[in-house]
Amino acid sequence: MKTRTLGGRLQVSAIGLGCMGMSFAYGGQEEPDAINTLRKAFDLGINFFDTAEIYGPYENEKLVGKALKGIRDQVVIATKFGFRFDEAGKTLGANGRPENVKAVAEASLKRLGIDVIDLYYQHRVDPDVAIEETVGAMADLVREGKVRALGLSEAGAASIRRAHAVHPITALQSEYSLATRDPENEILPLCRELGISFVPFSPLARGLLSGTIRDTSALSADDARRNYPRFSGDNLGKNLSLVDRLNEIANRKGCTTAQLALAWVLHQGDDIVPIPGARRLANLQDNAAAADISLDSADLKAIDDAFPAHAMLGERYGAAALAMVNK
């Protein structure tokens, strides 16, 4: 697996693994199967694993810690804080208060079974707490040796600048794919100005760009995608027509549609490290192989022509989740 460097600080595989779906949002996975997938990812050369407090909540960090025990010194583990929960684990909103920053870090270290978090993200910017206070507490954790590098997720330009002025931000994690190209206008140029690497989550648009999800009835009853606008009603059929056009290009390249979509993300810059999720070994292997696909200028033009920016119909989230994205 080729490698890339996050913010000049962390050397990671060119493609990481988003671990959320093993415990959260998409129906989950039996623990033995999830552990097998995580270890197979490492065997394939993937050394960058992404989890978060909210995934479960809490259960995904425990899973990742268990799976990576014994190879801890060979992997880069990223986790995230930033929410309030009720006793049942329901999300109540953002929490960027300094005391929560530090409390979650301590809890995450225990759940993961590690001594230091390689990359600690604020999962969502808290509109009620100055980001300088939040990042100041995160920086304390770096000085204490509990965290190696800091990140933000779904943060807007102003928040990124203010955060970076307090302590260097190593990576910004936000949604980016052929289906979601909003970061190209302002966020990616800003990250490059400041030396911040970009970590796209959902680089396959939650599986939509794989072309394998043709009907939401095939998804588990608790799969959140059943309620996402891009997967709903007439939007799904029209969006799949775009994906089918990608599939034609993929066939000519001798790769899968998912591999083509991931290769496109990788070709947007060496400072970009996508973290697609995978629960099936076949999908994991498929994703890992995308790092070796070369696209020339003619390929990239053909992809852009087949799948123009902002052509996909429907919002990427429901209204409540969209409201938490920092502008």
Per annotation, catalytic residue among 26, 55, 120, 121: 55
Domain annotation covers residue 318:
no
* Residues ≥6 apart with Cβ < 8 Å to 109: 115, 116, 117, 146
Domain annotation covers residue 256:
no
Burial of 5 (0-12, 13-18, 19+ CB in 10 A): middle
Domain annotation covers residue 236:
no
Q: How confident is the model at residue 111 (pLDDT cuts 50, 70, 90)?
A: very high
Q: What is the pLDDT of residue 115?
A: 98
Domain annotation covers residue 219:
no
| The model's pTM | 0.96
Amino acid at the residue 45 = G
Token pair of 132 as six digits = 């300088």
Q: What is the pLDDT of residue 85?
A: 94
Strands of 76-127 (E only): list them: 76-81, 83-85, 91-94, 117-122
- 11-42 pLDDT, tens digit per residue, is 999 999 999 999 998 888 899 999 999 999 99
Domain annotation covers residue 241:
no
Q: What is the pLDDT of residue 275?
A: 98
Number of domains in the chain: 1
Range of the domain at 15: 3-204+268-293
For position 36, which CATH number holds? Answer: 3.20.20.100
State mean pLDDT over 297-308. 98
Domain annotation covers residue 281:
yes
Token pair of 295 as six digits = 């696209």
Domain annotation covers residue 227:
no
- Is residue 55 flagged as an active site residue? yes
* Residues ≥6 apart with Cβ < 8 Å to 308: none
Domain annotation covers residue 257:
no
